[in-house]
Amino acid sequence: MASGNAIRGSRVGAGPMGEAERGESAPRLRVSFWCSNGHETQPSFASDAQVPDTWDCPRCGFPAGQDRDNPPDRPRTEPYKTHLAYVRERRSDADGEAILAEALAKLRGEI
């Protein structure tokens, strides 16, 4: 007697799979992109698709362009800034003193 498993002996993807079952594949276009480290990437696009100007290099993560002799520049990374650094960019020392004086006056009950 069978164990009740109707797909015994088969696996996912087993059987004839080809163009007849999936249909015709779209015409493809391979485009070369180069990053500033000299890595070449060749993604494929549908022939009627719009090819982007830049593509991320899968090896180093830098942007890559289609011009081998003039690849895009590396992105400029900003150092980590604390909240206090951002506050100091927006406020002068005089502004900070005024805000501190107002907060202290409020705590002392003067306002």
**Numbered residues of the known binding site:** 35, 39, 57, 60
What's phi and psi for 82, nearest 5 deg? Answer: -80, 170
Cα separation of 81 and 37, whole Å?
Answer: 28
Q: Which residues does the annotation place in the binding site for Zn(2+)? A: 35, 39, 57, 60
Q: Cα 16 vs. chain centroid, distance in angstroms?
A: 37
CA Rg value for the chain: 30
Contact 65, 57 (CB under 8 A): no
